[in-house]
Structures are given as structure tokens and as C-alpha cells.
Structure 1
């Protein structure tokens, strides 16, 4: 366990960031960036955590994996919660659960609720977290806790959070009158689950069951300590508190040691050991500084209580004054940090918008503004899949007749205008579900969704007629434009290359028949 140090965590963070850059697999990149965000949070580096979390979401969104996107939103929620952006955290938790449900990802739904419960506890809302976890336990998603196919230890995190939340709530922490009534109504259920979860944590503590992540041992100790405080087992509570402080000290991670000292100070305050409270609370406040504001303020408040309990009123007053000054500094720092995080988030959103625009541009023909060959093939793949399910669809290749002579007689500017007007005319005449794309040169690909072959044939004839009716007087007096169209029906079992060859053969048949006509592929006909 002593290998878990701040230096080791930073090395691991750098390794994850490098791995994310080196891989072309978006799912792997998402996982590396998510783990990097969690490590940055452990180190108290909120801007870096947000940077990795947003990069994680960007990578996830570039996949079609809704479950992966859900986990990315959950990561951002936890980062925002870590810096007390409650509105942002709640928004991303809702997004995460919605995506996980859409993906039918039971583990994703369970993980979102387990992590949201942890977020509730960090806000001191222990009763809310318990009610959330009980609801999860009674839902169809509870099976994901016992059968975690990813081997991520979700059941262990559930037990940690339940024991910490339930023991704290039963000690009277973070419970208002309404929530107290809700807990009382489910008291038997709370105690039964608390007994089960505490037993699971004791097995982890005794190493009878291996921890999925060795860094969770401090969380196990914290939860067992609060449970021992609830049961009134002072010797066990002291033993757990000392072990927690010793372990956190060995790790030399500032935030972890501060948290352990604060946890032991709270135990000692419950036991009335005020001189010891003063030592631990003062050290915890020093370690937290302004980097971990809520815990720093809790430590100073506990220190002021210790002085007051010993009748040292002036010292208690001075601590309160220092606490007020620190609260003001923390507020300013929080606003600055929130501004930095918002800048990072805005930059990521702007980058995402630019990337989407570039991706869209890559699928558009710059001359005509309609989809290009790549865009058309993407849409054709969708129609091929629809045809396999029995949906009628058709593909037509449209070639402008004698286009080379248009360029030779009237110039390339006129030829470009012909392509633009033909594209605009045909696009206006087809339905929204259909698509016209520039396939190459003077060839266009027309994709007709949901039309039977006779319907598609009539549509192509109408398109051909509209092209002949275009007025070219302002471009080149005497210019007349027609098109030859080859039509093929999509049929189950055929891939796009076969369909395109059939449409191409039919288009050449239209040329051979004198042009300005529609011909069906031999197989379709």
C-alpha cells in the first residue's frame, strides 16, 4: 500500500495521458481519459481533471456507444461536484443516467446512482444518498451490483457509500425533518442493508476479499470508522482512525491525510477528547489549506469547538476570525477556479462545434453544396441495412448528357453553373428522406428511401423532365441540358458495390438508348 504516493499518482496520470494520445481506439481513449480525470481529482488538480473529463466526453461522443457516453458524462459530473458546481454536476448525472437507460446498460444506471450517492454525501446529504441507494437496491438494475461483468468493483463502492451514508444519517448528520420521516419509514430496510454492507467492508478490511482498487482502502476505513461511532464501539473506532491516519501518512497524498486527520478529530470530539481534537483539526486545516475549501472550513470549525469546550474563548474567537478570512479567500479562489473550469468547458464545446463543422464539410461537395461521394456512401449503407429489414429502397445514377461538349462550347464556368443548377433543381424536387449527392464529375447519385421500383421509376422520370425544363438563357443562349438515369432496386442480401454496379450498368443502357431517359437494371427489371 505504501506504493500509493503523490509521486506515483502523478506518474500514473502522465502515463494515462500518453496512452490516450497514442491509441486510435476511441473506446480505449475514453477509458484512459476517464481514469486520468479521476486521478487528477485524487491529486486535487481540478483544472486538469476537467480537461481530461471533457476530452473523455469528446472521444465518447465520436462513437455510437451510448453506454460509453454515459460514463463520460458521469466523470464530468464528479469533477464538477468536486469543485461544488452543483448545477453542472446534477445536469451531467441526469444525462448519464438517461444515456445509460437508452443503451439498456444496467451497470451504467447502477454506477451513475452509486456515484451520485457519493456526490450527495460530499455535500453532507447523507439521508438523500441512503434513499437513493435503497431505491437502486430494489430496482431491476441491482443485479449489476452482484454481477459486475467489467470487474470494476461496483459492489464494493456501493457498500462503502451505503455504510458511510447510513451510519452518518443515523448519527443525525445531514438529515432534515422530511428525510428523517422517509428514513424512519424504511428503518428495517436501512438496518438490514447496513448490516450486510458493513459485513462486506469488514471482509475487505481483513483482506478476505481482494479490493478491486487498492486506493479504496482509505474509503473502507472511513466507512467502518463511522459505523463504529454509530455502534458505540470506541476501541474499534480508535483503531480504525489510527490505521486510516497511518495509511494516509504512508501514501503522502495531502488531501487523503487531511481527510483522515479530520475523521479522527470528529471521533475524538464525539468522545470528548478535546486536546487531541485540537491537534488533529489544526493539522487537517493546514493540509487542506484553500485547495479543499469545504473540508478546510470543517476542520477550523471543529478546532474552534475544541477551544470553546476547554473554555479558551479567546482562542476560539481567533479561530472563528481566521475561519471567516479563509472563507472569503476560498470564495474568491472558488470563483476564479470556476471561471477557469468554465473557460476549459467553453473551449471544449467550441472545439467540438468546429470538429462537427469540419466533419460536415468533409461530406459536402464544395461546388454544389450537396453531399459528396463519401456522404452518399454513408447514407447508402443505411439504406442497405433498411433493405435487409424489408424496406423498399432504390438507387439511381444520373449522368448529364454531353457534359464535355458543354465545357468545350460554353466554357468551364458555364459547366460549373450547370452542375449547380441541376443539383439545386433536383434537390428541391425530392422528398426530405431522399438524397441527391455528387458522385463524381457530372454524375449524381440519387437515393430514394421507402419507394417501390415503380414509384422510384416515376420519380426519376419527373427528375429527368425537370432537368430538361431548366432555363439556361442567362448562362449560355442555346444551351440545352438532359440527363441519362440508371435505376436499381435495393434487395436484401446485396451489398452497396453490387447495387452501384447495377445502377451504373442501367445508366449506360440509358445512354445507349439515346440519352435523356430512364432505364432499370436488368436484375431490377
Structure 2
């Protein structure tokens, strides 16, 4: 998945103060990250101003000596430097998007962390008005502690990473079974619940039985995977338990009970 980019609005910042104000308005960061970002901006502007002054001096010297060819080169350089300011905001916009994405993800699996998953879940349940089915599921690796104890934590980590990959691959909100009209970025709702547990949400279902079809497909994909590719000692298939709660979004009263029904609030 590609990092979400912040949408620019209004005129592009053209000065140091305008860019700093733009960053503070559009990039919600901790005070530590904001300070690092503003320091980087200051360094870029200082370098830009130095290059600008050097270019002006070169222009004056070229004019005084009548070097028309050098003047043409200087004009090209000045035009390129003038475009630097407008590109700075795009660069830092991408940087902040990457930092924000990292803060929302579990470092081992690259799935959402649980806090961000619940933020997305609560927002969806609060805003969604259409009458339709959605599903929230909880996944647990069967007997995971035995793998850790017998084969070591390195193998356990590979099992967790592979199950996370299969979860992303098999449980998709843009599924042909799960009809969804939103953007691909908004659809990705898989999270690491903690340890060897995961959770997911399927946003748009024609009927609740489709959630169980998708859950079974994921469970079978885990069992059918060749686990010896992760470690030769995994001769028997790793298995997962999958629990799914379905919710009809037309019933507003049910929206606040979905987390309790999963026993994860």
C-alpha cells in the first residue's frame, strides 16, 4: 500500500514563514517531530538563500564582463532555484505522510497497530449511514506458544509475518465478494491485535454469509501454505482460528456493541 498523501489546498507557500505556517496547519506532528521538520526547512532555506546570493553575484560579474553566454546559464539556474520553494512543500508533505504511516503500523508485520485500527473502525461506524452488512474478525494462531518454545522466537516471528501477509492477501475489502466503493487506502483494515492475534474489518457485504466465506478462505490459505519454506521443521501446517462478528449498519443501536461482542474493548 502506498502512503497516504496530504491534499494541498489554497495557494502554494512562497516564503519561509508561509511554509512554516503551512506545515503547522497541515501536518499534525508531535512537538519533537515538528521541531526536526522545522529545523530541516530552515536548513533548506538557508542553503537556498546562499545559492541565490551566489547566483546574483555571478550575474553581476557576467554582466560587467559582457559574458552573454554565462548570463543565459545564470538565468536558467535562477529559474530552477525559484522553483525550489514550491517543491519543498511537496517534499515535506511526502515526508510527513511517511512518518505518520510508520506511527500507525506494527513494525513487525506492517499491519495497522490496534489503536489506529480502532480509530478507523469507530470513525466508520459513526459516519456510515447506509443499510448494509459489515464484519469484524479476530484471528489467533493455533498453539503459537508451542512453536516459539520448540523452534525459537525467530521462527515464531516468521510465522507471524507470513500469517499477516496471507491476511492482507486473502481478506480484502475490495474483494469481488465484499463490494466496496471507497478508495483502496481507506479499505485496508487489517491490524495486529497483539502477540499472535490479528483483527480485520470487511466494510461492505451484500449479506452476512459472505464474511464467513472470506474467513474460511483465509483459514484454508494458511493451512495450505507450504510452511517448510519458512523453516524445514514446520512439516505440519500452521493453523489459525477465525472468529467473525457481523453487523447490520441500518441498526444504529448495534454499532456501539461490536467491540464488546468481540471481547476486545
Output the TM-score relative to the length of structure 2: 0.61
- TM-align CA RMSD: 3.5
Question: Structure 1 residue 387: deviation in Å?
Answer: 4.3
Deviations 1:250-308 (A, max 9, x none): xxxxxxxxxxxxxxxxxxxxxxxxxxxxxxxxxxxxxxxxxxxxxxxxxxxxxxxxxxx
Contact 1:395 / 1:445 at 8 angstroms: preserved in 2? Answer: yes
Distance 1:499 1:478, change over 3 A: same
Relative to its length, the structure with more helix (as a share) is 1
Q: Deviations over 1:106-153 (max 9, x none)?
A: xxxxxxxxxxxxxxxxxxxxxxxxxxxxxxxxxxxxxxxxxxxxxxxx
Gaps of 5+ in 1: 1-33, 35-46, 64-330, 506-525
Alignment of 1:54 with 2:16, yes or no, is no
* Cα distance change, pair 337–484 in 1 and its aligned pair in 2 (3 A): same
Which residue of 1 is the match for residue 259 of structure 2? Answer: 500
Aligned counterparts, 1:375-524, within 5 A: 375-385=116-126, 387-431=128-172, 432=174, 433=187, 435-451=189-205, 452-474=207-229, 475=231, 476-490=233-247, 491=249, 492-493=251-252, 498-504=257-263
Partner Cα distance (2:153, 2:253) in 1 = 38
Matches of residues 30-41 of structure 1 in structure 2 within 5 Å?
none
* 8 Å Cα contact 1:384/1:495 also seen in 2: no
* CA distance, structure 2, for counterparts of residue 462 and residue 504 of structure 1: 24
Q: What residue is the counterpart of 1:203 in the other structure? A: none
Q: Which of 74, 92, 105 is the aligned partner of 1:364?
A: 105
Residue by residue over 1:156-178, the C-alpha shift from the partner in whole angstroms, topping out at 9 and shown as x without a partner, is xxxxxxxxxxxxxxxxxxxxxxx
Deviations 1:307-330 (A, max 9, x none): xxxxxxxxxxxxxxxxxxxxxxxx
Q: Provide the C-alpha distance between the structure 2 equivalents of 1:379 and 1:401, rounded to a whole number of angstroms.
A: 27
Alignment partner of 1:438: what SS? strand
Q: Deviations over 1:357-388 (max 9, x none)?
A: 11111122221222222332233134313544
Report the CA distance shift for 1:334/1:454 in structure 2 as closer, same or farther (over 3 A): same
Structure 1 residues 332 and 459: CA distance shift in structure 2, 3 A: closer
In structure 2, the partner of 1:226 is: none
The Cα shift of 1:340 comes to 5.3
Judging by fraction of residues, say which structure has more strand: 2
How many residues matched?
196
CA contact (8 A) 2:27 2:96 kept: no
Q: Equivalents in 1 of 2:253, 2:21: separation in Å? A: 38
Structure 2 unaligned segments of length 5 or more: list them: 1-10, 29-71, 175-186
CA distance in 2, matches of 1:497, 1:404: 33
- Structure 1 runs, 4 residues or longer, greater than 4 Å off: 331-341, 494-497
TM (norm. structure 1) is 0.33
Distance 1:353 1:387, change over 3 A: closer
C-alpha distance 52-336 of structure 1, shift in aligned 2 (>3 A): farther
CA contact under 8 A between 1:426 and 1:466: conserved in structure 2?
Answer: no
Alignment of 1:102-113 (within 5 A): none
Q: Which deviations, in whole Å up to 9, do the C-alpha atoms of 1:394-415 show, x marking residues without a partner?
A: 1001111111111001111111
1:270 aligns with none
Following superposition, the deviation at residue 501 of structure 1 comes to 2.3
SS of residue paired to 2:87:
helix
Superposed CA offset, 1:52-84 (max 9, x none): 222333344348xxxxxxxxxxxxxxxxxxxxx
1:487, CA displacement in angstroms?
1.5
Q: Distance in 2 between matches of 1:503 and 1:485?
A: 11
Question: 8 Å contact 2:27–2:93 — kept in the other structure?
Answer: no
* Map of 1:374 onto structure 2: 115
1:345 matched to 2:86: yes
CA contact (8 A) 1:391 1:450 kept: yes
